[in-house]
Amino acid sequence: MASTNEICEHLLRTPPPSATAIAYNYLVPNVKGLEGLVRIMDDTGVSAAGGSSADKASTTTEISVFTAATEAFSKANTNCTIAESLERIRPIVTQALSHNIRVRGYVSVALGCPYEGPNVPTSTVTDITASLLEMGADEVSIGDTTGMGTAPRTMELLNALRAAGIANNDLALHFHDTYGQALVNTIVGLEHGIRIFDSSIGGLGGCPYSKGATGNVATEDLIHTLHSLGMHTGVNLEAMSKIGDWISGELGRANASRAGKAILAKLQD
């Protein structure tokens, strides 16, 4: 398997052709990681917002920084307290912004923690989210890492974020379907006015610090749900379903997308 730097360099140098702009997002754990990314960008002649000179319209580069909503998870996942993780993140954000690199913050275990249980205080989540935005993060993704989130608690958290003065368009929602609630919670988010939702094709992923955690909600299931509500995503769901099945096969995993599998079964009729 190629190293992160190799993958990063490959994508920056020869971005796959695309009809629409794609934002490649790199997880940056510390300032050194950011410096490495900036060096590769400089070497390959890529500017953050514009893509490579060869294919200006198709790629942008952005970074992700991670923190968590509980001390126990922060310790397990990043080996530091929440406050320490925010202090690690601050210079990354500052430097990224100085290079015009877009920053996405993540708040893990916002709706349930494998160590501290389902009832994560909403005030902790709103405080961390506000800190990330004040540092300059362009967007914060609220992560239900364990999939423990329920419709009522998702609603409560979104109301708390609104009450704290945080705008809907500064937020994304990131649901795992571990308990089958991802799409129900997505509907709660949509009704609240959130329009950015994380997902992974074929439901790939998981979390080593959250036992039994499955991947993000499958992109195919999310897109099917959005289309079923009459929303436009610009995504070709048939093509997406084929890709999800292909990558699941390559990785030797079961395809976790229900809509994807149903669409493919129908195509084979």
Both tokens assigned to 80: 């530091």
Q: How far is the CB of 126 from a second copy (least distance, A)?
A: 22
Q: How far is the CB of 262 from a second copy (least distance, A)?
A: 5
Closer to a second copy by CB, 184 or 247: give it.
184
Closer to a second copy by CB, 57 or 254: give it.
254
8 is a catalytic site residue: no
Maximum Cα–Cα distance for the chain, whole Å? Answer: 56
Closer to a second copy by CB, 124 or 178: give it.
178
Q: How far is the CB of 181 from a second copy (least distance, A)?
A: 7
Q: What does the alpha-carbon distance between residue 65 and residue 135 come to, in Å, rounded to a whole number?
A: 12
Contact 97, 138 (CB under 8 A): no
Which residues bind to a second copy, rule: CB under 8 A?
147, 150-152, 177-181, 183-184, 187, 211-212, 214, 218, 221, 224-225, 228-230, 254, 257-259, 261-262, 264-266, 268-269
Q: How far is the CB of 233 from a second copy (least distance, A)?
A: 15
Closer to a second copy by CB, 62 or 221: give it.
221
Token pair 């009522």 in the structure block, residue: 152
Choose, from 8, 80, 113, 207, the residue flagged as catalytic: 207
How many Cβ atoms from other residues are within 10 Å of residue 5's Cβ?
13
Q: Report the catalytic residues.
A: 207
